A and B are shown apart, each in its own frame.
Chain A
């Protein structure tokens, strides 16, 4: 396999029972970028019991998988992972390195970038090969889109959130090379993950939901927020938030949809009691139908949706929920066509 400065690499991430969806999405994108550059795709996977996962990475587009399989790699340890990956990057010298914007990725990416003394762009929603083969990294900011490049240093590094790029069609017949990497032993560990504790699991994943309801400051208080949550429940929708709702303490930061939060791509989006701030709206990558409910006729959200209702959500949502409950009882079942 070529070891010159031409490959596009992805740091793939193992999760319980498989590969993080973002890793497959990034491999799909890496494949497209590599094809345009006339080069190859590499993936790095650290973890344990990797055989099936490795094949999935190849099926998603990797030509080369560098795998390190060891119990010392589970759970994630930042210093060990950084050491291994930096060494691989120095050896393989890729043009581009993509990392998913997961909890691990957000800590690992800057550690790698600082060691490699290269540039890193966070939360990209578009990656394009520009003039002279440089990677144009686009991020939403200040109500618009900013294009960032890393003109000299290599690899050009970017993190991308789950759901930004489509999941590629897996081709199990694809072939690729797999190289096993030695895991350094007795590396001094000054920071050590002792244990991973799972709390509540999200009901409907926002990134894959076909209907998304998002609530904002207009909820007014926890009671108003719970009403919107009830609406999301009845619609079998993913339930997300904007920053004011998180700041008010009605919901966790993890539910926030937006520039530095989750990305959604539903068929139907309903924004309830939110103003349509650009930081939030850029988190909606695309939706067939967008609806907004807000008591302020001047709210900018009404310029960005297909249907608008000017009404206090604390009045409208209970009425809507009531009506939907009646519909449910008269038709017998809530059907949901994706």
Chain B
């Protein structure tokens, strides 16, 4: 039985990302009711775990750090086929940068018990540092391979994977236990099913805070973050546009003229 942890982040639906903008007056992010979804790359991570489960049998634990509404996302992951969920939720976790987030997640993985593979999406759609996977690996003293696009050999405890690389990819041998971060090319997540949602009723979601993890409050959240945001400004990159008018051919002509003047054609 393979023990898998999948780290999942609840993020604002990326299709609404244009609405989430810094308010130029308050210089902060407004509170908007953008629905939360599973970070798209984490769906790939979960699907990778489910494929291992289908092939060899596995126990999949979903781990997510977030405010209480993130619990819905954990429930959705259970409906997709994971076995158990842990929601790390605590006001003290708020304001965590990638370092503090990775530290908290790593401590939870430790507390959860033996693990063979930790799957993470390679980046979140709303933070996109790509740091959390490798930092978790460091805190757990595990090897990590990022940007995995294909798992070539997943038998036993020595895997072969393909990871994105400059102008191509690299073939990598990986000894478990290990952290694997995945790209969108890895797989196509299977959709939610009604029977999966029914099965999720009997699956457990635990809520852990920093005390349960036995970590001091100074090491989590804003306090535990080596980096701090000091300022938010709105980018004003407006230009005075001249709209090109006329019939289709007239517009084409005018544009060709502009490109010609610019030395492009």
Contact = CB atoms under 8 A, between A and B. Distances in A.
Give chain A's interface secondary structure class.
mixed
Given A193-B170, A193-B172, A316-B248, A145 B232 contact: yes
B143 A145 contact: no
B128 A148 contact: no
Interface in B166-210: 166-175, 178, 183-184
Given A103-B164, A145-B233, A304-B237, A309 B255 contact: yes
A143 B22 contact: yes
B22 to A, nearest CB: 4
Interface string B140-173: 0011111100000000000010001111111111
Interface size range of chain B in the complex: 35 or more
Interface string A158-194: 0000000000000000000000000000000011111
B112 interface: no
Contacts of B248: 311, 315-316, 319
B240 interface: yes
B239 A78 contact: no
Given A144-B22, A151-B228, A194-B172, A111 B138 contact: yes
Nearest to A293: B255
Contact of B244 (A140, A259, A309): A309
A260 B131 CA distance: 13
Interface stretch (B13-21, B43-51, B77-85): B13-21
Contact of A260 (B20, B29, B128, B144): B128
Contacts of B130: 106, 110, 122
Interface in A68-124: 75, 78-79, 102-103, 106-107, 109-111, 113-115, 117-123
Interface of A: 15, 75, 78-79, 102-103, 106-107, 109-111, 113-115, 117-123, 136-137, 140-153, 190-202, 211, 235, 253, 259-260, 267-268, 275, 277-279, 281-282, 288-292, 300, 302-311, 315-316, 319-320, 323-324, 327, 334-338
